[in-house]
Amino acid sequence: MWKPKTLSLFPLRNWFKYRKDFLLVWLLRGLSAIAGIVILLILGFLLREALPVLEEVGITAFFRDDSWNPGEKSYNLVPMIWGTGLTMMGAVLLATPLGIVSALFCHYYAPMPIASLYRRLIELLAGIPSVVYGFWGLVVLVPLINRLHPPGTSLLAGIAVLTLMILPTITLVADASFAKVPPEYLMGAAAMGLSSWGTIWQIVIPSAKSGLFTGVILETGRAIGETMAVLMVCGNVVQTPDSIFDPVRTLTANIALEMAYALDNHRSALFVSGLLLLGVIIVLAIAAELVDREAS
Amino acid sequence: MTKSIHNNLDRHKIAEIQPLMQIHQLSLFYNQKPAFKDVTLSIPQNSITAIVGASGCGKSSFLICLNRLSDLIPGCTVSGHIQLGTLNILSPKANTTALRRRIGTIFQKPNPFPMSIKKNITFPLKEHGVKDSQQRHNIVEQVLKDVGLWSEVKDRLQDNALTLSGGQKQRLCIARTLALQPEILLMDEPCSALDPISSGIVEDLILRLRQKYNYTIIIVTHNLAQAKRIADYTALFWVDKGCGRLIEFAPAEQFFNAPNNELTKAYVNGIKG
């Protein structure tokens, strides 16, 4: 069955018929063009700034060099890629089940007043500035981990803080996608005396699958991009970690820490890591769009 | 007002009924506002009871009380008494899972689950403890034959149930309910979302279920002609002072040919409703 995705008020071929709306249409077009162009400009700017070092040492140098030491013309980003990848993966693996379970609780088990209070709390969690999370991590979490296994500033601390930060994203998206599960399914399941567990596992989760997947992609994007909080709790030592108690440095922290004094090729190399981050985010955005399209 | 309505019920005919389910002074409220009030009637065994009346007179609300689906609706409270054999349905101690297996429901809008045709039937069976997969498969074949869907879907049991047509979906919903072997089937306008041909097929199916398996069926419909075609007993609900009431309950023949109540007469003859 054919369904229009959005209604187009002004089909291109006869826009001139709507002379009264001429101004509005072009104003709207102009504004949306600006939003689009800004993103392209950022991408172009990143490319321009990254190009000198890419031309000079080639792309492989960023993966093959001995270490990250831009002063000595060594540009190995691999430890930072590990740092970003591991903190992100750990946080996503922890936050996803937690978020989905708390959305299920909120939607199907909690009494109305508790559910709405809980929802407000989660929204509040999403609104806390990241530096506050970092601050909390630094004064509470890091000393705790230090007692367990020094030095305390570590991959584990980064994962824990990031988990808290991305939890609201997945919870709110999951909650919204559970709200979209047709009530007829739930009525039908109840009318056959099916258990809540069976209903949730076999009917609710599969119907909300694409929404949940989008939520995972969004939280992954947030985890990759987060800078301040991880910078404060991760220790920022450039190394590929051997255990979760080792300090790590993420790509974002690397940029934030070195941008202030970087010159020439060093500066350019930081733009390469920025380009890398943007690339991953673009891939994730495309993945989210494809999942969405698949569902409809 | 309540008294006068009850006096109009034909007590002699009703007394001959073998009641399967007895409903006494049943009322339902949505946030303290009554949807229907003081309904007392006995549902006869192995027969089709049709509930007719204009929209908003509490027919569907009445139906959802009978297997406690009303529990699912926020702000909905039910008072009165419903007795099914030795089971007091409205008792807080009643096991709703077991109850809903005994009393199946078919909704107005066909609502197969978004999974394969076969799984729509096997998944509830699994939930109710039918562990043997061969046995489950046999039940699938049996119930799909019962609803006349087997020849249409036997080669595509693994297809998503949402790809079926409206009439096929509704028959699948009936099939998955039959698979649980309920004693009573509640049907809430099962044909009104279907085209005339599918509607006719489902109607024939309802009659066949009664004749072949002696199901007790309670069907809500606002299609008077349909009630006339299939019902053994008919109840008329009507809105009085913003709240649904049972006006008349009688064997279908009497209901349509010689009703006791003036309102029923007007409704049956198409003057009202």
CA distance linking residue A164 with residue B83, whole number of Å: 52
Per-residue pLDDT, B4: 41
Instruction: List chain B residues with pLDDT less than 50.
Output: 1-9, 11-12
For residue B74, the one-letter residue type is: P
Write out the H or E segment, with its range, that includes residue B177: helix B166-178
What is the torsional sign of CA B98, A179, A182, B51? Answer: positive
- Flag whether residue B77 sits within 8 Å of chain A, measured between CB atoms: no
Strand partners, B84: B21, B87
Which one is the CATH code of B2-113+183-268: 3.65.10.10, 3.40.50.300, 1.10.10.10, 3.60.15.10? 3.40.50.300
Token reading at A282: 């673009």
Chain A positions in Cβ-Cβ contact with residue B105 (cut-off 8 Å): 191
Whether the CB-CB separation of A224 and A84 falls below 8 Å is answered with yes
Whether the CB-CB separation of B62 and B52 falls below 8 Å is answered with no
Chain A positions in Cβ-Cβ contact with residue B180 (cut-off 8 Å): 192-193
Reference B107, options A43, A191, A193, A1; nearest CA is A191
CA A57, chain centre distance (Å) = 31
- Domain ranges in chain B are 2-113+183-268
B139-168 residues touching A, CB cutoff 8 A: none
**Best B89, B105, B107, B113 residue to mutate vs chain A (most A CBs within 10 Å):** B113
Q: What is the dihedral of CA B204, B205, B211, B217, to 10 degrees?
A: -110
Per-residue pLDDT, B1: 37
Write out the H or E segment, with its range, that includes residue B239: strand B233-240
Strand partners, B239: B244
Cα of A177 to nearest chain B Cα, Å:
15
CA distance linking residue B66 with residue B80, whole number of Å: 11
For residue A13, the one-letter residue type is: R
Q: For B41, phi and psi rounded to 5 degrees?
A: -160, 165
Grouping H, G, I as helix, E, B as strand and the rest as coil, residue B250 is: strand
Grouping H, G, I as helix, E, B as strand and the rest as coil, residue B223 is: coil
Model ipTM value: 0.85
Biggest CA–CA distance in chain B, Å, is 58
Q: DSSP code of B109? A: S
| Residues with Cβ within 8 Å of residue A173, at least 6 apart in sequence | A211, A212, A214, A215, A218, A219
Reference A223, options A160, A283, A279; nearest CA is A160
Chain B positions in Cβ-Cβ contact with residue A191 (cut-off 8 Å): 67, 69, 100, 104-105, 107, 177
Which residue of A lies nearest to B67 if distances are taken between CA atoms?
A191
Token reading at B185: 């089937």
Q: Residue A125: CA atoms inside 13 Å, Cβ hemisphere, count?
A: 19
Cβ of B100 and A191 within 8 Å? Answer: yes
Whether the CB-CB separation of A99 and A175 falls below 8 Å is answered with no
B163 to A29, A40, B32, B156, B179: CA distances (angstroms): 40, 42, 41, 11, 21
CA distance linking residue B95 with residue A147, whole number of Å: 52
Site of tokens 């009264």: A20
Chain A positions in Cβ-Cβ contact with residue B173 (cut-off 8 Å): 188
CATH 1.10.10.10 is the classification of domain A71-295? no
Cβ of A191 and B113 within 8 Å? Answer: no
CA distance linking residue A194 with residue B96, whole number of Å: 10
- Which residues on chain A place their C-beta less than 8 Å from a C-beta of chain B? 112, 182, 184-195, 198, 202-203, 206-207
CA distance linking residue B224 with residue B36, whole number of Å: 21
Token reading at B32: 């303290």
Judge if the upstream peptide bond of residue A143 is cis by omega within 30 degrees of 0.
no
CA distance linking residue B49 with residue B252, whole number of Å: 9
Per-residue pLDDT, B269: 87
Reference A158, options A220, A229, A94; nearest CA is A229
Site of tokens 């139906």: B63
- Flag whether residue B74 sits within 8 Å of chain A, measured between CB atoms: yes
First-to-last alpha carbon distance for chain A, in angstroms, is 11
Burial pattern A71-108, b for ≥16 Cβ within 10 A else e, equals eeeebbbebbbbbbebbbebbbebbbebbbebbbebbe
User: What string of pLDDT tens digits covers the 296 residues of chain A?
Assistant: 445 556 666 555 565 566 667 788 889 999 999 999 999 999 999 999 999 999 999 899 999 999 999 988 899 999 999 999 999 999 999 999 999 999 999 998 888 899 999 999 999 999 999 999 999 999 999 999 999 998 999 999 999 999 999 999 999 999 999 999 999 999 999 999 999 999 999 999 999 998 999 999 999 999 999 999 999 999 999 999 999 999 999 999 999 999 999 999 999 999 999 999 999 999 999 998 898 888 76
Per-residue pLDDT, B188: 94
